[in-house]
Structure 1
Amino acid sequence: MPTMSPRRWRDARLAVLLLAPAVLGMVAMRVVPAVSAFAESFNHLSLRTGVKEFVGFENYAYLLGSGEFHAVLGTTLLFNLVLNPVIVVLSTALALLLAQRLPAVGLWRSLIFVPAAVPGSVTALIWSTAMQPDGLLNALFAAIGLPKQPFLTSSGQALGSIGLMLAWGAIGYWMLFVVAGLKDIPQAVYEAALIDGAGWWRRLTAITLPLLRRPMAFVLVAGTVGSFLAFAPVQILTKGGPDGSTNLLMYDVYANAYQVGDLGVAQAEVVLLMILMAVVVAIQFRVLREERS
């Protein structure tokens, strides 16, 4: 049996020491809560009475047979189906624009990134003020002759308004990853294309976008996870309303746990949310892999 040389042994120990904090943090903040949620999803624990009893798959059966849960699931999927492609397209478009030699391009990048540094609760309050009946957005609409909009008080506009807030905070952040991908594209490829007479559109579709598939795929997958976990704007502004139009899965978990007081159902919903995210992300990876092939 081969043995490790002293140098390899030192390198292995150094690697373990460097990786240990990140691994321990991931286990403590990701793995342990996930295992705990799975275990507790088979129990019924009421915050009101404190009584805990094993109920098996009853919590899952209740959720899967509930019309309210089906509505929450449909709202969450629709929200992600619309929001995530918008974030990918806009962050890529901004990255392509700011990759040009524009005056004060560093300043523009910083200004676009600023919303990503604002906490979600602060973002919600900013947009809540702007979306008031006499707020900034309706003032702008009135200035160009458009009628006032109800935004967060309308069941037809509230979910889109929440999506607008999340996109505003996310686009600048994900744009940086696309910009980094643009910097990794060799300039020699563009120079060869120019020699061959390729125009701007041809270079974009034949070189830039194909070579940006990896960072764009990362933005899509990571953005999808973030959108599934959206909570703060809903909890602060709409409480899942009006008429359940913004009742996303994360808020429904909170409502079942701390408003209804049924932790077992809430934990079962967390497990279903994790399964749903895993399925959606797996489908995205499969589609992106087929596109690359």
Structure 2
Amino acid sequence: MTTTRTPAATTAPGTRQPAAPVRRRKTPSQARVALAFLAPALLALLVLRLLPAALAVVDSLRHHSLVDGVTRYVGLANYGDLFGDPQFRQSVRVTLLFSLVVNPLQVLCALALAVLFNRRFAGARWWRSLVFAPIAVPPAVSAVIFGILYRPEGPLDAILGVLGIPPQPFLTSPEQALYALIVLMSWVGVGYWMTFLIAGLQDIPQECYDAAAMDGANAWQRFVHVTLPLLRRPLAFVLVADTVSNFLVFAPVQLLTGGGPEGSTNLLMYDVFRRAYSVGDIHYAQAEVVLLVTLTLAVVAVQYRLMQGKGEE
């Protein structure tokens, strides 16, 4: 009895056998990975920023009576009382004047120093570090240092006396106290904003300057037509961030002037503190916080719009 065998399948020489299917492990989508990495930051944003902001809005619509100790919903009554308060209106005027002076001053000084220190010369890095150093000092310490400088018969009055200028009432004069704070805040902030602008300057290709020089542009024309347009985004960031920072100035006012003399340095952030902890009306202070945030967002939106308009022209 004979058996027949089925011949095994053979492949032609030089041909590859089909590979066995490989099972691919399922990987999570990029969105899930990104969400996992962003989850701690989003949670912190929710707990530390958004939730307190929502609570501030809710509290600004309430009023706590000292007579019966009951907190009642009063709607927009707190805001109406604020707009009718002369001290609040003065605080808004002082804050706007402070911002209108200190913001352009800091940005212009930071831009000038960035252009200067972006060049290569002996000691440039040392001078750059020296200008940046004040930002490493806590605001309270900076306020104490300038309090010593501004005090009667202090170092600044001694220098002015050498120049033949009589002593100045820096922090005790309603006309000079706000500008004394502006000098302090500029000393702290200029070096910090300078670093952002230096980074922006270093991103500008050298070929742009070479092409402008070949066309016969002088140094000022290269700055106006090459540097400023290509530095628009860093400038917009510095202007917006500087505005927000200066709207929140508190420590120098508390340590040096206490909002005086005659309310000349009563910035909104200090007025919020005064209402909440000196007067003890937390709901009134929350309404002022909401108005401060609204004012800040409005000013920032106008600045951003202006910067965008300049870039589109």
Class of the TM-score when normalised by the shorter of the 2 chains:
over 0.9
Q: Given the alignment, which residue of 269, 281, 299 partners 1:250?
A: 269
Match of 2:5 in 1: none
Say if 2:188 is the partner of 1:169: yes
Q: Would you say 1:97 and 2:116 are equivalent positions?
A: yes
Please tell me the residue identity of whatever aligns with 2:96: L
Tell me how far 1:47 sits from its aligned partner: 8.7
Greater Cα shift, 129-138 or 41-50:
41-50
Any idea what the Cα deviations from partners look like across 1:252-288, whole Å, max 9, x if unmatched?
Answer: 0001100011011000000000111111111111111
Ranges in structure 2 where 5+ consecutive residues have no aligned partner: 1-23
Q: Could you state the TM-score of these two structures normalised by the residue count of structure 2? A: 0.88
Tell me, in whole angstroms, the C-alpha distance in 1 between the residues paired with 2:270 and 2:119: 41
1:277 equivalent to 2:296? Answer yes
Shift of 1:197: 2.4
Per-residue deviation, 1:148: 1.0
Aligned to 2:96: 77
Given that residues 47 and 262 in structure 1 are in contact (C-alpha distance below 8 angstroms), is that contact kept between their aligned partners in structure 2?
no
What residue is the counterpart of 2:202 in the other structure? 183
Letter in 2 for 1:64: F
Residues 238-257 of structure 1, C-alpha deviations (whole Å, 9 max, x = no match) = 11000000001000000110
Tell me which amino acid in the other structure corresponds to 2:92: L
Q: Of Structure 1 and Structure 2, which has the larger fraction of its residues in helix?
A: 1
Change (3 A) 1:163 1:51: farther
Contact residue 48 and residue 261 of structure 1 kept, 8 A? no
Match in the other structure for 1:213: 232
Q: Distance in 1 between matches of 2:221 and 2:25?
A: 54
Deviation at 1:6, TM superposition (A): 7.6
User: How far does residue 20 in structure 1 lie from its aligned partner after superposition?
Assistant: 1.8
- Of 173, 188, 207 in structure 2, the residue corresponding to residue 154 of structure 1 is 173
Range with greater deviation from structure 2 (167-176 or 63-72): 63-72
Residue 11 of structure 1 aligns with an amino acid whose one-letter code is Q
Q: Bigger CA drift: 250-259 or 66-75?
A: 66-75
Structure 1 or 2, whichever has the larger Rg, is: 2
Instruction: State the alpha-carbon separation in 2 of the partners of residues 216 and 179 from structure 1.
Output: 11
Q: Is the CA contact (8 Å cut-off) linking 1:114 and 1:172 kept in structure 2? A: yes
1:56 alignment partner, SS class: coil
Q: After superposition, give the CA deviation of every residue in 1:210-245 in whole Å (9 maximum; x if it has no partner).
A: 111111111111100011111000011111000000
In the alignment, the residues of structure 2 paired with residue 46 and residue 17 of structure 1 have an alpha-carbon distance, to the nearest angstrom, of 46
Matched, 1:63 2:73: no
**Residue 13 (structure 1) shift:** 2.5
In the TM superposition, what whole-angstrom CA distance separates every residue of 1:3-23 from its partner, at most 9, and x where no partner exists? xx9887343222112222222
Distance 1:209 1:115 in 2: 26
Per-residue deviation at 1:49? 8.3
Q: Does the residue aligned with 2:28 lie in a helix, a strand or coil?
A: helix
**1:81, distance to aligned residue in structure 2 (A):** 0.8
Instruction: Provide Cα deviations, 1:5-62, integer angstroms capped at 9, x if missing partner.
Output: 9887343222112222222222222111111110100112379986422222111110
Question: Which has the higher mean CA deviation after the structures are superposed, 64-73 or 177-186?
Answer: 64-73
Match in the other structure for 2:141? 122
Contact 1:47/1:261 (CA < 8 Å) preserved in 2? no
Q: What does residue 16 of structure 2 align with?
A: none
**Where does residue 281 of structure 2 map in the other structure?**
262
The answer to whether the 8 A contact 1:37-1:271 is kept is yes
Aligned residues: 289
Q: Structure 1 stretch 74-83 or stretch 16-25: which is displaced more?
A: 16-25
Say whether 1:234 aligns with 2:253: yes
Alignment of 1:22-33 (within 5 A): 22-33=41-52
* Amino acid in the other structure paired with 1:70: R
CA RMSD across the alignment: 1.8
What residue identity is the alignment partner of 2:87?
A: E
